[in-house]
Amino acid sequence: MPKSLPVIECTGALCCPPVAAGVVSDDDALEVAFRLKALADPVRIKLLSLVIAAGVEGVRNVDLAKELARTDATISHHLGQLSRAGLLVVTRQGASTYYAVDRVALGALVRALDPDCC
């Protein structure tokens, strides 16, 4: 019987020593892996690039669905994965939901992989 992975939600920015700094703890490895797993999908990479391009004001999920020619449900699922990984900021304005990239969280993930990067 396959072992189930723990269900975690990491909405805050990653805060752990860089992977290149030495052997990471199990908890830190899980934190990094959770975020990388959220990005390990071509649709999510495309979504992230569209959200980044939208700027600080963000973009509505329905506009993303049209851009990618996917259903609202599919886009909502992928945006939810990115949000639970802490990579997006979600705001509601009336009936619309807007998504913007969390630059602090994205930068923290990059620095966890390569502290000399940015």
All structural domains of the chain: 24-113 (1.10.10.10)
Q: Let me know how long the chain is.
A: 118
Lookup: tokens for 34: 């959770």
CA angle 35, 91, 60 (to 5 degrees): 85
Q: Which of 19, 36, 29 has the alpha carbon at shortest distance from 113?
A: 19
pLDDT tens-digit readout, 17-68 = 666 667 878 888 888 889 999 999 999 999 999 999 999 999 999 999 999 9
DSSP lists the bridge partners of residue 98 as 60, 91
Q: What are phi and psi of 116, to 5 degrees?
A: -90, 0
Alpha carbon distance 82, 88 (integer Å): 6
pTM, two decimals, is 0.80
